[in-house]
Amino acid sequence: MPKLIVFNHISLDGYFVDANNQMSWAKNHVDDEWNSFVTENAKGGGVLLFGRVTYQMMASFWPTEAASQSMPEVALQMNNLPKVVFSRTLDEATWNNTRLVKNNLIDEVIKMKAGDGEGMALMGSGTIVSQLTQANLIDEFQVVVNPVILGKGRTMFEGDDLKQLRLTKTRTFKNGNVFVSYEPTS
């Protein structure tokens, strides 16, 4: 059964996007050690899952020459891996290897998890993270805590009930980022 992982950046005060719904602050702490980690993570394969906003952000960057020049291995993976975008408002998904799902998010993820194949990684997409958390469909939460305080923004879990988690991994980077991984306890 494929595993569903969430991978997101958060600020020290717990926001995954700032008050303007932006994530550019997460790119402020980049160095060779961090880039190596990102490149290794991208080699994991599987299916990438997105909500509309994150999909449009990713689709506007990864297919570009700038992405190919700055992070060629990551760009190759991002462009070639299968992708699913969940959106009620998009009419089409034009980024390479992308399938658009307009309805039944929970049912679709249940079907994907019941099938064969590699795991799935959900990036950004706070509303979807929240819904899938409530449905107990997320197997692992991978979070990068960035050394920044935003003051305002959105969390990934607005409106969610209490969920107990178990720490499975940590890694501290010289740039101040801290990677933590948690699994649900139930």
Q: Which of the pair, 159 or 69, is modelled with greater confidence?
A: 69
Q: What is d(CA 54, CA 49) in angstroms, rounded to the nearest whole number?
A: 9
Residue 38 has pLDDT above 90, yes or no: no
Q: What is d(CA 165, CA 28) in angstroms, rounded to the nearest whole number?
A: 28
pLDDT confidence of 26, banded at 50, 70, 90?
Answer: confident
Tokens describing residue 57? 């952000």
Residue 158 has pLDDT above 80, yes or no: no
pLDDT digits (tens, 9 = 90+) for 110-121: 999 998 888 999
Q: What is d(CA 136, CA 158) in angstroms, rounded to the nearest whole number?
A: 15
Residue in 16, 3, 9, 84 with CA at minimum distance from that of residue 51: 84
Q: What is the CA radius of gyration of the chain?
A: 16
Q: What is the mean pLDDT of the chain?
A: 91
Please say whether the beta carbons of 10 and 143 come within 8 A: yes
Tokens describing residue 157? 């879990």
Q: What is d(CA 24, CA 91) in angstroms, rounded to the nearest whole number?
A: 27
What single letter denotes the amino acid at residue 78?
A: M
Domains of the chain listed by start with CATH number:
4-184 (3.40.430.10)
Tokens describing residue 81? 């891996």
pLDDT digits (tens, 9 = 90+) for 102-112: 989 999 999 99
SS3 57: helix
What single letter denotes the amino acid at residue 135?
A: A
Please count the residues of the chain: 186
